[in-house]
Amino acid sequence: MAGNVTVVLGDEESVYSGKRAVVQPFSTEKSEQIWNVEEERKEHSNPTTFSELLGLNELFSLQVWKASVAELVGTAVLVFAIDTIVISSYETKTNVPHLIMAILISITVAILLLASYPVSGGHINPAITFSAALVGIITLSRAVIYIFAQCVGAVLGALALKAVVNSTIEDTFSLGGCTLTVISPGPNGPMVVGIGMAQGLWLEILCTFVVLWASVWMAFDHRQAQALGSVTVLSIVGIVVGLLVFISATVTGAKGYAGAGMNPARCFGAALVRGGHLWYGHWVFWVGPTIACVAFYLYTKIIPRQHFHTVGYKHDFINIVKSLST
């Protein structure tokens, strides 16, 4: 998992599968055949018990924890980079800060996904991890490990940013974190500017769902992932994220709101390190994406099966629920 791997998109694997890829060991031809047969047997075996469906054995798997390091590092770099982009976009006093921010975020997300997916599946976002667990690409146990790693990485990324920026920028731009409102100087003293919690919640739900539906969907669907290739799929994910940041920040027209977070871990890192008003409405950045993930999962269940090509997704949430009644 943590070594050199070869991911075959569309062949029992997905960009966001998070599963161990097919590894070709440096050995004799006979041992390679034995290895491949064993791996194929494991891939096609169906979980029969509740603990297997949850993947509880992965909680104690060294390989899974090693893979989660890629999620930790990827999320740390993501938080440092995106929060820096947010600060820089507004600090440069350009007339189009939202556009510049969206373009840079698109490029950054695409690069980091490409860097991390061969090891862990390239999630670096609890929303993607949770949706992958619901669909059954990864187990709930692996999802818990990944989300924990992502949150730790987000905190480390925010700490790294705090260490390199001066206190004035940190206070002015809230360390580039996710905000609904900020306190701004007004004609009659300090005033609160931004958007309300309800508006912020709807933006998180809608934007996260669009990310899953318009881009991550391609990675989950074996047919599309294989036809397009990993570079194209992950680049599309980055572009969609950037577009939604631009749209959500522009459509509100509210100062103090830098756009939809769509990544609970990123919002958590800055809030824990910076504190203060970043905790105001912080639940919005978790509840919104969670609702979007559930909505996306229900969508995959409603559409005709021939339009969602999946192979070997054995940990589907409905299968887990069914196992409780048997």
**CATH code at position 77:** 1.20.1080.10
Token pair listed for 26: 């440096």
Residue whose pair of structure tokens reads 């830098």 in the numeric block:
258
Residue 4 covered by a domain: no
- pLDDT class of 257 with cuts at 50, 70, 90: confident
Residue 288 covered by a domain: yes
Cα 303 from chain centroid (whole Å): 24
Q: Is 162 exposed, middle or buried (0-12, 13-18, 19+ CB in 10 A)?
A: middle
The residue segments making up the domain with residue 152 are 52-302
Residue 172 covered by a domain: yes
- pLDDT class of 239 with cuts at 50, 70, 90: very high
∠ at Cα 174 (264, 112), nearest 5°?
45
Residue 318 covered by a domain: no
Q: What is the per-residue pLDDT for 205?
A: 96
Nearest to 296 by CA among 197, 205, 198, 204: 205
All residues at 6 or more sequence positions from 193 whose CB lies less than 8 Å from its CB, including other chains: 181, 182, 184, 254, 255, 256
Residue 40 covered by a domain: no
Q: What is the per-residue pLDDT for 69?
A: 96
Within 10 angstroms of residue 49's Cβ, the number of other Cβ atoms is: 9
Residue 311 contacts residue 222 (beta carbons within 8 Å): yes
- pLDDT class of 266 with cuts at 50, 70, 90: very high
Residue 23 covered by a domain: no
Residue 233 contacts residue 226 (beta carbons within 8 Å): no
Number of independent structural domains in the chain: 1
Token pair listed for 16: 């966001």
Residue whose pair of structure tokens reads 């500017």 in the numeric block:
193
pLDDT in tens, 12-57: 344 444 444 433 333 344 444 443 444 444 444 566 577 777 888 8
* 3 state DSSP class of 191: strand
Q: What is the per-residue pLDDT for 190?
A: 67
Q: What is the per-residue pLDDT for 32?
A: 42
Residue 110 contacts residue 239 (beta carbons within 8 Å): yes
> E strands within the chain?
181-186, 189-194
All residues at 6 or more sequence positions from 253 whose CB lies less than 8 Å from its CB, including other chains: none
- How far apart CA 116 and CA 138 sit, in angstroms, is 16
Residue 187 covered by a domain: yes
Residue 8 covered by a domain: no
- How far apart CA 166 and CA 17 sit, in angstroms, is 40
- pLDDT class of 325 with cuts at 50, 70, 90: low
Out of 82-86, 93-97, 121-125, 295-299, pick the least confident: 93-97
Q: What is the per-residue pLDDT for 168?
A: 84
- pLDDT class of 307 with cuts at 50, 70, 90: low
- How far apart CA 326 and CA 314 sit, in angstroms, is 17
